[in-house]
Amino acid sequence: MKITKAEISIISLPMHTPFETGFGKISHKDEIIVALFTEDGMVGYGESATLSHPVYNHETTESCWLALKNSILPQVVGKDFDTVESFVASYANIVGNTAARAGAECAFWHLLAQKQNTSLKALFGGVQSNIMVGEGVGITNSTEELLGTVESYLQDGFRRIKVKIKPGWDHEPLAAIREHWPDIKLMADGNSQYSLADHAQTLISLEKYDLEMIEQPLASTDFVDHATLQSQTATPVCLDESIENLNDARTAIALGSCKVINIKIGRVGGVLEAMHIHDYAKEHGVTVWSGGMLETGVGRAFSLALASKPAFVHAADLSPYQMYFTDDITAPGLQLQKDGYIAVPDSPGLGFDIDAAKMKQYTTRHHCIEP
């Protein structure tokens, strides 16, 4: 498939509810959508999930924009590719910038799916038809507010509650939830806000809430202390920010830093790398699940298809756009079934239609890359 042109657009979807984490409040979300055009008239879409500031990882929407515009897409346009491997090889000189690389790669997967008239699920080797979905509760102003939010999520059908925690807001929310709902699947996400030196006892004593896992309590580069923590607590440790590629997963597994890995396509630089991590984790008895970055329906479509691979056994962060945004650029968008699962499309291509009018309506910046 010859790539004749690439386009990048910043989509600013209105958010009705901010999402507060240990690293700060997300109340505005700009997403970069990559479009690749082929000689025979196809368009493939991908998404680069970033935040405005480098508070979760090193990337920002602006750094991602520059990496796509100046470094990645100029190496892709005007060339002919038959496989994803040859596509990513064309910009293999680019290090880091995982969300930027993932957006380009996803757009190529979308082209492949159209060309082969098959689903992303089939291309990725998916085996599950329905994915269990959970929802995250951000840091709230009070326990009452937290309990009200959890109550509504459980009524919506979400099958697992993830609580954002930080030093000073951990035992209180988890104890309150456990008191009201002793049996629900519950987990906590520390977003790198703790250190073992200062918080070992606080973290270990979270055991009493019977958490499905504790996600990324310590710094992203701290494989050693995560391993120490995992050896001292019965709660499975899950790594998110720490895992940017297969080598990080190998390091974590060799050291015993985690029993679970949160896989996000943007954080690991694309679906190929995500599949390598999935396969390696599966071989080594580590389970995985599909995390999210409050993507649009485009990014969610790729995560949903990937989550149908066999080692994805925990509830996914794949809530429908209505939880945070007033609108989306796909139609109909993810549908949460009453049982708390989302069906993985078997239809060819993305499995969701992109609404061109909405794309246009929410585009705040646009750039074209031609040979």
> If we measure between CA atoms, which residue out of 132, 171, 141 comes closest to residue 18?
141
Q: Which stretch binds Mg ion (CB under 5 A): 94-102, 103-111, 181-189, 358-366?
A: 181-189
CA angle 290, 296, 298 (to 5 degrees): 75
Name the β-bridge partners of 13.
29
Residue nearest to ligand OSB (CB): 292
- Selected from 59, 240, 328, 355, the binder of Mg ion by CB under 5 A is 240
Residue nearest to Mg ion (CB): 240
Active site residue 5: no
Distance from C-alpha of 50 to C-alpha of 52, rounded to nearest angstrom: 7
Q: How far is CA 226 from CA 222, 233, 289, 296, in A?
A: 6, 11, 19, 32
Active site residue 264: yes
Distance from C-alpha of 356 to C-alpha of 53, rounded to nearest angstrom: 28
Catalytic residue among 29, 162, 164, 309: 164
Residue 236 contacts residue 259 (beta carbons within 8 Å):
yes
Instruction: Supply the minimum distance, in Å, between the C-beta of residue 138 and Mg ion.
Output: 12
Catalytic residue among 29, 185, 259, 264: 264
Smaller CB separation from ligand OSB, 6 or 316: 316
Q: Which stretch binds Mg ion (CB under 5 A): 93-101, 138-146, 211-219, 358-366?
A: 211-219
Where along the sequence are the contacts to ligand OSB (CB under 6 A)? 56, 136, 189, 191, 240, 291-294, 317, 319
Instruction: Supply the minimum distance, in Å, between the C-beta of residue 302 and ligand OSB.
Output: 13
* 223 interface partner picked from ligand OSB, Mg ion, none, CB below 5 to 8 A per type: none
Count, residues in the chain: 371
Distance from C-alpha of 271 to C-alpha of 317, rounded to nearest angstrom: 17
* 308 interface partner picked from ligand OSB, Mg ion, none, CB below 5 to 8 A per type: none
Please identify which residue in the block is written with the tokens 């209505």: 322
Q: Which residues bind Mg ion (CB under 5 A)?
A: 189, 215, 240
